[in-house]
Structure 1
Amino acid sequence: MRLGPTLGFFGYSLRKNGLRTRYVSEVTEIGDGDVLDLPGKPVIVGMPGHSPGSVAIHVPLADAVFVGDALTTRHVLTGRTGPQPAPFTDDPAEALSSLDRLAGLPASWVLPGHGAPWRTSPAQVSEEVRKG
């Protein structure tokens, strides 16, 4: 952990009311393989490891897969850039294993929850993360 990026992360959290609790008022359960009734027909891909219920969303129409916090291109505590597992992962071994679920998806964009998007295939991203 490096002090500069860590303080930057906490400062950003404070500016965005990150310490204020917001309660969920409505929940719609989704599961691996579900196709959402939305434009582009997004498909849910289970990505266990980062946190319970973690998923990626593959949108074939957009030629993209949104991986949320399963992966990052900029570590919020170290400032390190490039494809890598996200920090605060519950089960790092399971999170790496989940990358196999992404590798077979046809997409040209991989969009993480933190950091810049990758313009490459999910298979290539999976390979680069494993090289670490």
Structure 2
Amino acid sequence: MRPGAALGFLGYSLRKNGLRPAYVSEVTEIHDGDVLDLPGSPVIIGMPGHSPGSVAVHVPLADAVCVGDALTTRHVLTGRTGPQPAPFTDDPAEARASLARLVPLRASWVLPGHGSPWHASPAELVERVGEA
């Protein structure tokens, strides 16, 4: 862990009220394979491992897949950049196995929950994470 990166993350959390949770008041269940009734018809991809209920959202119209915390391109504690497994993962082995679900997706952009968007196919990004 690099102290500067970790302190930066803590400062960001404090500025954004990260220590004051906002409780969810309404829930709509989604499941693997669901196509949402939204512009672009986003498709839900189940991504178990990072946390219960983790999903990716593939938006073919936008040529992108939003992977949330399935992987990261900037580690929040070390500041290391590039595709890599996300920290704070409940089941690292299951999270890595879930990445295989991204490989067949057709997209030119992968949008992680932390770090910069990655301009490459999901298959290329998953390969890079495997090397990390």
Could you list the structure 1 runs, at least 4 aligned residues long, displaced by more than 6 angstroms after superposition.
none
With the length of structure 1 as denominator, give the TM-score of the two structures: 0.99
1:84 and 2:84 aligned: yes
Kindly provide the CA deviation profile for residues 37-84 of structure 1, in whole angstroms up to 9, marking residues without a partner as x. 000000000000100000000000000000011111000000000000
In structure 1, the residue matched to 2:112 is 112
Identity of aligned residues (%): 80
In structure 2, the residue matched to 1:13 is 13
In structure 2, the residue matched to 1:50 is 50
Summarize the alignment of residues 53-132 of structure 1 with structure 2, pairs less than 5 Å apart: 53-132=53-132
Which structure 2 segments of 5+ residues have no match?
A: none
Q: Which amino acid aligns with 2:103?
A: A
Aligned partner of residue 111 in structure 2, secondary structure? strand
Q: Which amino acid aligns with 1:7?
A: L
With the length of structure 2 as denominator, give the TM-score of the two structures: 0.99
Report the Cα offset of residue 21 of structure 1. 1.8
> What number of residue pairs does the alignment pair up?
132
Let me know the Cα RMSD of the aligned residues.
0.5
